[in-house]
Amino acid sequence: MTVPMVHAHAVRKHFGHLEVLKGIDLDVQAGEVVVILGPSGSGKSTFLRCVNHLEAIDGGSIFVDGELIGFQESGGKVRHLRKSEITRQRREIGMVFQQFNLFPHFTVLQNVMEAPVGVRREPRGQARERALGLLRRVGLEDKAGSYPRQLSGGQQQRVAIARALAMRPKLMLFDEPTSALDPELVGEVLATMKGLAEDGLTMIVVTHEIGFAREVADRVVFMDGGVVVESGTPKEVLDNPTSPRTKAFLSRVL
């Protein structure tokens, strides 16, 4: 058995008295695309944020590529990671948000080069070549010299994807990457993501785009109320859901 890219077991998270994750179990194999569906407030973003160290978990454990991310309780012992370990792990996990958060005063090329040069200390020439290659991959090589404000939302989101890829992540997390876009711009971003999936990138995608889930996902996970309610192939979960909660959700979004 190979080590899964993500292994989450009994993950719990609360904010004050609000229990947001109530024991999440999820494995993602290398090269797999997992789409997480679920109503607003079900804990999808929180779960992604825990995988990427943006939130600390309160119970259970998360491993990425065999390495501990969250703490593990064994015999009451809690293992905390060193800051340097956390920083290194975060670099290997790319995240794309609903809001693209590009640096407005940087060109598209500078946005994509920033982390490789500033964080990974890549030589500028090499980082530039790679950045141009990534912009080609997201279909925006001709926009290298433009500023974010000169781009459409869909183009900005594709730059954000290229910027995340520039750190050579072994895992990419997408949190509703098309939810802030005008409907006519959604397709170009989903097409870009489909291309990454076909290239074998391991991806966890939170989205309400059922068509994308059906076409691209290896597995669909339905979350509600801080638990995984149902998980399976797109056909199983989307066409033959077993849980009434999944059925009710799908009837609202389909």
Q: Which long-range contacts (CB under 8 A, 24 or more apart) does 14-17 make?
A: 14/58
Tell me which of ligand ADP, Mg ion, none is bound by residue 46, counting a contact when its beta carbon lies within the kind-specific cut-off of 5 to 8 angstroms: ligand ADP
| Residue 40 and residue 206 in contact, taking contact as beta carbons nearer than 8 Å | no
Report how far residue 167's alpha carbon sits from residue 197's, in angstroms, rounded to the nearest whole number.
17
Rounded least distance, CB 3 to Mg ion, Å: 28
User: Residue 165 is inside which H or E element, if any?
Assistant: helix 153-165
Give residues 10-49 in contact with ligand ADP (rule: CB under 6 A): 15, 18, 20, 38, 40-46
Amino acid at 124: R
Rounded least distance, CB 184 to Mg ion, Å: 23
Tell me which of ligand ADP, Mg ion, none is bound by residue 220, counting a contact when its beta carbon lies within the kind-specific cut-off of 5 to 8 angstroms: none
* Nearest Cα residue to 253 out of 189, 186, 207: 207
Rounded least distance, CB 44 to Mg ion, Å: 5
Tell me which of ligand ADP, Mg ion, none is bound by residue 202, counting a contact when its beta carbon lies within the kind-specific cut-off of 5 to 8 angstroms: none
Give the list of residues 6+ apart from residue 160 with CB closer than 8 angstroms, or none.
Answer: 96, 97, 100, 101, 102
Nearer to Mg ion, 34 or 131 (CB): 34
Tell me which of ligand ADP, Mg ion, none is bound by residue 254, counting a contact when its beta carbon lies within the kind-specific cut-off of 5 to 8 angstroms: none
Binding site for ligand ADP (CB under 6 A): 15, 18, 20, 38, 40-46
